[in-house]
Amino acid sequence: MTYVQGLRRGTSLSFNRKIDREVLHTIKTAGISTVELSFGYDVYMNQIDFPRNWRIYADMARDEGVELWSIHLPFSAHLDISHPDDELRSITLHTNRRLIEAAGQAGIQVAVLHPSSEPIANEDRPERMRRSREAIGLLQSECARAGLRLAVENLPRTCLCNRSAEMVDLLQGTGAGIVFDTNHSLIEDNVSFLATLVDSGLCIESLHISDYDFIDERHRLPGDGLNDWKGLFAQLERAGYTGPLLYEVSHQPADREPISLDQLVENMRRLTAGIIA
């Protein structure tokens, strides 16, 4: 068995855009064992009220044999831990704290966090970095209390962590780790970006697997893009990564036909078999 074949298969629930028993049962039956909760503020806080109803979803996942691996904390132009408006930033931190506490009770292991939204002008970057780093420290403490690991995501365009050196600078000394998104590096070579993170000693806690054209994020199936999968997996193996091979693929990528769950699972098979390289 190769290194990548030993990683359990996972998917973001952004593919399904909901969580219920039918979704979890279908995912498990298809051969996927692990999921990431990934919803917006309204779904988390109003539609499913996860802070109050976490036990319902934890029990549902247990009954269906699905691991709730991670929770992607909500993000938007207003829900931004680096936001210059103190009131909006305070709302973001409060929301994240409530979700982290519920996720810990539900047995979720990783909290995924965006370090900023965008656009960020060059002259504003140092202050946004300062505010983001401060918030990461606060949320890392919350995660430690709740029994989770905080994982900050590399991001594209003008967001914070659009460069590997900036990401290392932001995170070193905070105790937070990384979720590496394979379709976000637009300035550096993707494999080199990941290699720098591995060399830094920061822990790769989780993944967002998808492919793209190096022009912008696309969230396409691996093989429908330019990623060097062999190179990326070599870096993950060097890092000692043992988390899931967690796909964050859009059900409807731009300029592509819709993707079915069967196609997603077949792609996982081909990627782990080395057919997609």
pLDDT confidence of residue 41: 98
Q: Which range marks the domain in which residue 129 is found?
A: 4-272
**Within a domain: residue 277?**
no
pLDDT at 209 over 90: yes
State percent of the chain over pLDDT 90. 98
CB-based contact 72:112 (threshold 8 Å)? yes
pLDDT at 128 over 90: yes
**Within a domain: residue 263?**
yes
- Number of domains comprising the chain: 1
Q: φ, ψ for residue 247 (rounded to 5)? A: -75, 140
Q: In DSSP terms, which residues pair with 85 in a beta bridge?
A: none
106-122, pLDDT tens digit by residue? Answer: 999 999 999 999 999 99
pLDDT at 254 over 90: no
SS3 content of the chain, % helix, strand, coil (to 5): 45, 15, 40
pTM: 0.97
State percent of the chain over pLDDT 70. 100
**Within a domain: residue 137?**
yes
36-53, pLDDT tens digit by residue? Answer: 999 999 999 999 999 999
Give the range among 69-73, 123-127, 156-160, 249-253 with minimum mean pLDDT: 249-253
Q: Is residue 175 left, alpha or beta, with left meaning phi > 0 and alpha meaning psi from -120 to 50? A: left
pLDDT confidence of residue 241: 98
Q: What is the chain's mean pLDDT, rounded?
A: 97
pLDDT confidence of residue 48: 98
pLDDT confidence of residue 144: 98
24/34 Cα distance (integer angstroms): 10
Q: Is residue 219 left, alpha or beta, with left meaning phi > 0 and alpha meaning psi from -120 to 50? A: left
In single-letter form, the type of residue at position 58 comes to A
205: domain CATH number is 3.20.20.150
